[in-house]
Structure 1
Amino acid sequence: MTSKQYNSVWFREPRKQAGSSPGRSREEIVAAAMELLDDEGLAGLSMRKLGAKLGAGATSLYWYVAHKDELLELVYDEIWGEMIAPDPEEVGWRDAASVMAHSMRQVILRHRWAADLIGRLPALGPNALMISDQTRKTFKLAGFTGTDIDYANATLTAFVFGMTIPEVAWDTAMAGYEYDGDNLRQTVAKAAAGYPDLMEAINAANYENPRVMREVCFDFGLVSVLDGLERRLVT
């Protein structure tokens, strides 16, 4: 039995622009793909549409990427390049981790299509590796050692993904609907009838500012995660 080798756009050198090339750069192609994705989502991205946007035939794009999945690897790495990972030696490990987590959430919300690529594509590009390296340094500076550095890193990113991906799904499902806080409260209250604790929470919830609630909820969870990680350092 032979093992299947994993192929990635990052495992080969990009083709250099030459006289026989289509005259486009990888950066131009990625930028155009990002625009298409932001406008139409993953379902709206095709090599044909991308070629039309660039004024080139779809086949000419294959000079730079072997197939659509390679293109997705490239755009996926671009979002990692938009994340902020401060130097923990300058701001302290907790502030560095907090800024990175909030930045990661905002980038995913800004590029909703990225939520469908998390866990589907490996983060092997230079931007993703830079963020990963910086967060490892952050938790190493905090006092974690060995594989605990990676566990702490994974815990933080899992929290961000776990909080943000459902938020993207909700925003996507509600796209095109006019938000009505009173109507939503009444609908949820009807579904939760008979559960007094839930009804108490529904009555206390601020349905007029769901985005504010999400921000507060995310920050509450993030502080709790960092508190838990810090607690492990002193036990």
Structure 2
Amino acid sequence: MPRDTLTADRIVRAAIELLDDEGLDGLNMRSLAKRLNSAATAVYWHIKTKDELVRLASDAIWHEVEAPDLDTADWRTAATAHAGGMHAMLTRHPWLVQAFGGHLLHGPRQAQYNDLSLAVYEKAGFDTDGADRAAAAVFTFVLGSALAPAAQVSLNRRLSKNGADAERLMAEAMTSATETARQYPRLRERLGTTAANEYAAAPDSTFEFGLQSLLDGFEAALDADGTRGRK
């Protein structure tokens, strides 16, 4: 493919596909150029560094989070949909969770998400500072909730690439973790139950429970201040 047929947008789309398949460690200009049937030098013509490519790819996928309509939805419905959309997006693109820890991520789509988050909590009745804190708390919770699944994807990929038997190694690790858990009464009580079929797995609906608990807390705080307006 000649260089002049490449665009930054095409490169970013291909980078997202590569990141989804190979993770952050698998992203390099040579592999990306191969997907584009181009030369690495042609990619560099449009995007100069891997850090810049990760930033652009990360910002591009924020459009997948559907924006709730604040004119028709009450604040809590909007908050649930907005946070749930972010969680689903991070589940589809687990590399983004890791990218937050090693890259300076910013861009118009992420800014649009953050701006709408502030609008949601202002609609709930928070003042400017309160909306900042509420939006940040939910963002941090969603990001943390997606961390374990993202780490699992990364671990499985790393073990497999090293030629290791990932399934066997994971089974051995879970056996060891289970034996350790038997030493502690509350963990021991839960071993063998449906909820603990996978020792390291979170119980069903953990994300939903945590998010609704946060929103319950916000409502309680607003009620205590006498400022809540369920709009």
Shorter-chain TM-score bucket reads 0.7 to 0.9
Q: 2:7 aligns with which of 22, 25, 43?
A: 25
2: distance between equivalents of 1:23 and 1:186?
53
Which residue is equivalent to 1:206?
195
Matched ranges for 1:172-191 at <5 A? 172-174=154-156, 177-178=166-167, 187-191=176-180
Off by >2 Å, runs of 4+ in structure 1? 119-124, 170-179, 182-189, 201-215
Shift of the alpha carbon at 1:212? 9.2
Cα 1:42–1:27 shift into 2, 3 Å: same
Shift of the alpha carbon at 1:54? 1.1
Shift of the alpha carbon at 1:93? 1.1
Across the aligned residues of Structure 1 and Structure 2, the Cα RMSD in angstroms comes to: 2.7
CA offset digits 1:165-194 (Å, max 9, x no partner): 122113433466459xx9888654421223
- Given residue 217 of structure 1, which amino acid in structure 2 is its aligned partner? T
Q: 1:97 aligns with which of 79, 89, 103?
A: 79
* Counterpart check, 1:108 vs 2:90: yes
2: distance between equivalents of 1:37 and 1:232?
41
Which residue is equivalent to 1:162?
144
Between 1:101-110 and 1:134-143, the stretch displaced more is: 101-110
1: distance between equivalents of 2:105 and 2:123?
23
TM-score by length of 1: 0.80
2: distance between equivalents of 1:130 and 1:218?
23
Note if contact 1:47-1:61 (Cα within 8 Å) is conserved in structure 2: yes
Cα 1:163–1:186 shift into 2, 3 Å: same
Q: Which has the higher helix share?
A: 2
2: distance between equivalents of 1:23 and 1:214?
49
Note if contact 2:19-2:27 (Cα within 8 Å) is conserved in structure 1: yes
2: distance between equivalents of 1:22 and 1:142?
50
Shift of the alpha carbon at 1:108? 1.2
Shift of the alpha carbon at 1:224? 0.6
Note if contact 1:192-1:199 (Cα within 8 Å) is conserved in structure 2: yes
Which residue is equivalent to 1:41?
23
Q: 1:194 aligns with which of 180, 183, 191?
A: 183
Which residue is equivalent to 1:143?
125
User: Higher relative contact order at CA 8 Å, sep ≥6: structure 1 or structure 2?
Assistant: 2
TM-score by length of 2: 0.81
Structure 1, unmatched stretches of 5+, are 1-20
Between 1:99-108 and 1:128-137, the stretch displaced more is: 99-108
Which residue is equivalent to 1:234?
223
Structure 2, unmatched stretches of 5+, are 161-165, 225-231
2: distance between equivalents of 1:211 and 1:90?
40
Between 1:96-105 and 1:195-204, the stretch displaced more is: 195-204
CA offset digits 1:26-48 (Å, max 9, x no partner): 11111111111111111111111
